[in-house]
A and B are shown apart, each in its own frame.
Chain A
Amino acid sequence: MKKLSKLYVALVLMFLYVPIFVLIVFSFNESKSRSVFSGFTLEWYERLFHNDIIISSLINTIIIAILASIISTILGTLAAIGINSMKKVPKAVVMNITNMPVINPEIVTGVSMMLLFVFFAARMHVEFGFVTLLIAHITFDVPYVILNIMPKFKQMDPHLFEAAQDLGCSPFMAFRKVILPEIMPGIVSGFLMAFTYSLDDFVISYFTSGSTSQTLPITIYSMTRRKVSPEINALSTLIFLTVVIILIVKNIIETRAAKKNGAYKGA
């Protein structure tokens, strides 16, 4: 039984990883062939670094992800605090609408925002590009921030805020000293989730970006539509490496933190 389960895990992992490893191997292939490895080269990496479209869309993606995640974290944190103090019915209404971009298929969210922007573009001087892209990203990011923060209020004593004020805190101070530290883990995980969703999004960006402001996933998509170029393989390899490094670092930090906590508890 034990051997059988090991074999099963190995098979699933093979299914998940073999395509990625084939991509990586062929990023070093001298010819453009997708099946025969004819010799080692770094040419595709060199071309990648000299490809202005890829570099500029990468920068664009990072700028949008940073801006969208910061703005949506602020907007979402304030919203979560406000929603938490609402009465039952308005709270349920707001949460249901907030859930919509999470539940709806991405294509429907993208198309609905495109319709709105087309409407605006016809009446005001709004063009598809950086601004529409940023608005769209904030819109699909905020719900994740709110959904990460809301559970933290459930764990918090609802009278803490009033108690702080009774003890002489101004509402702002009470917010900063009492509420904020309690919901901080939710804010951080909401921010990180928003950031990664923004970096990775293709479908909604595809419908809201226009032709002037492109993100990396959109550039990748147009590359896969044109003729085969091993530059995509090189790009995949670099992205895969970045992800692996980030996850390993994250894992090391977490184990260290866990050990530290354990040590304190032990003492």
Chain B
Amino acid sequence: MKQLKALSAPYLVWMFVFILVPLLMVAYFAFTTDEGTLTMQYISDVGQYANIFVRSIWLALIATVICLVVAYPLAFILSRMDKHKQGTMLMIVMLPMWMNFLLRTYAWMTLLGNNGIINYLLGEIGLGPFKLINTSGAVVLGMVYNYLPFMILPLYSVIVKIDKSVIEAASDLGCNFWNTLLRVIVPLSVPGITSGITMVFVPAISTFIISRMLGGGSNLLIGDLIEMQFLGNAYNPHLGAAISLVLMVIILLIMTVMNQFSPDDQVLI
């Protein structure tokens, strides 16, 4: 097989130039000034935005918990359906994911707007109008709507593989439904839970579209902050790189914690 190694050469060059070098450049920009002298200025400047970091982590956390709470029963119910029904149901659940997430978020923009249909319908029965859009609640809603299927899929694929005889054994040994669920099924679906959490939390904490479209100007997230440093008025790639670096470290920490709960190589991506 030795001569086959050479086949990866073009990719190794590509990987070096377009994956590794750009990431090293982020690190370089974060620690240097325009003149190229070493500085900790930008990293310490990130501290000024602690409130935005806290808000991003908090909103992403709420969205992840809601996704888990909503998705778990659904994944469980799906896994108990007839085999031929499961495939179709899974397709129906995943179908909205195939539409671009900008359009999905736009849909909520029109629903939640001050002149949107929700406020109109509430007005008809004499309520409101409520301020729905441009709130942090709307941002969380957008995250849940966009990333819910990311939670359903890994949960379903783990729960459906749980050996039926284990569940039967539990009930033979005197477990009722809830005991079986809590003591057998939930512990066995931990790999699905951890990968679902990562798959929702990572895009949620780094989004800048959902916060911009549904959160108005007052709900800036880390993603918005980075985007502003590169394409916005606040052009400052050094600060942007420093923020990106801190974000990467946060995510790496969370993934390490998550991996602690997963038995060795069962991590699903």
* Residues of A bordering B, CB below 8 Å: 5, 8-9, 12-13, 15-17, 19-20, 22-23, 26, 33-36, 75-76, 78-86, 94, 97-98, 100-109, 111-116, 118-119, 135, 138-139, 142, 146-147, 158, 161-162, 171, 175, 196, 200, 202-203, 206-207, 216-217, 220-221, 224, 228, 232-233, 235-236, 239-240, 243-244, 247, 251
Taking a contact as CB atoms under 8 Å apart, the answer to whether B95 and A243 are in contact is yes
Q: Which residue of A lies closest to B227 (CB)?
A: A107
Contacts of B108 in A (CB 8 A): 19
Taking a contact as CB atoms under 8 Å apart, the answer to whether B29 and A20 are in contact is no
How many A-B contacts are there with CB distance less than 8 Å?
221
A136–B98 Cα distance when bound, in Å, is: 21
Taking a contact as CB atoms under 8 Å apart, the answer to whether B103 and A82 are in contact is no
Give, as a whole number of angstroms, the nearest-CB distance from B101 to chain A: 7
Taking a contact as CB atoms under 8 Å apart, the answer to whether A115 and B22 are in contact is yes
Query: B103 touches which one: A23, A100, A206, A207 (CB < 8 A)?
Result: A23
Binds A, one of B1-9, B35-43, B46-54, B183-191: B1-9
Contacts of B119 in A (CB 8 A): 35
A216–B12 Cα distance when bound, in Å, is: 31
A2–B96 Cα distance when bound, in Å, is: 26
Closest 9 pairs between A and B when the two form their complex, measured CB to CB: A82-B8, A79-B11, A105-B206, A35-B120, A112-B22, A19-B107, A85-B1, A82-B7, A78-B7
Taking a contact as CB atoms under 8 Å apart, the answer to whether B110 and A36 are in contact is no
Query: B73 touches which one: A8, A15, A83, A103 (CB < 8 A)?
Result: A8
* Residues of B bordering A, CB below 8 Å: 1-12, 14-15, 17-23, 25-26, 29, 70, 73-74, 77-78, 80, 87-89, 91-93, 95-96, 98-104, 106-111, 113, 115-117, 119-121, 145, 148-149, 202-203, 205-206, 208-209, 213, 223, 226-227, 230-231, 237, 240-241, 244, 247-248, 251, 255, 269
Contacts of B237 in A (CB 8 A): 115, 118
Taking a contact as CB atoms under 8 Å apart, the answer to whether B148 and A16 are in contact is yes
Chain A interface, >50% SS class = helix
A228–B73 Cα distance when bound, in Å, is: 37
Contacts of B29 in A (CB 8 A): 115
Taking a contact as CB atoms under 8 Å apart, the answer to whether A94 and B15 are in contact is yes
Indicate the member of B25, B100, B121, B241 with the most A CB atoms within 10 Å.
Answer: B100
Given contacts A22-B110, A116-B21, A139-B19, contact A202 B104 (CB under 8 A): no
A100–B202 Cα distance when bound, in Å, is: 13
Taking a contact as CB atoms under 8 Å apart, the answer to whether A19 and B111 are in contact is yes
Taking a contact as CB atoms under 8 Å apart, the answer to whether B115 and A35 are in contact is yes
Given contacts A34-B115, A111-B240, A161-B1, contact A240 B99 (CB under 8 A): yes
A16–B90 Cα distance when bound, in Å, is: 13
Query: A243 touches which one: B70, B73, B98 (CB < 8 A)?
Result: B98
A23–B110 Cα distance when bound, in Å, is: 8
Given contacts A105-B247, A224-B106, contact A15 B91 (CB under 8 A): no
Query: A20 touches which one: B23, B25, B107, B226 (CB < 8 A)?
Result: B107
Give, as a whole number of angstroms, the nearest-CB distance from B265 to chain A: 11
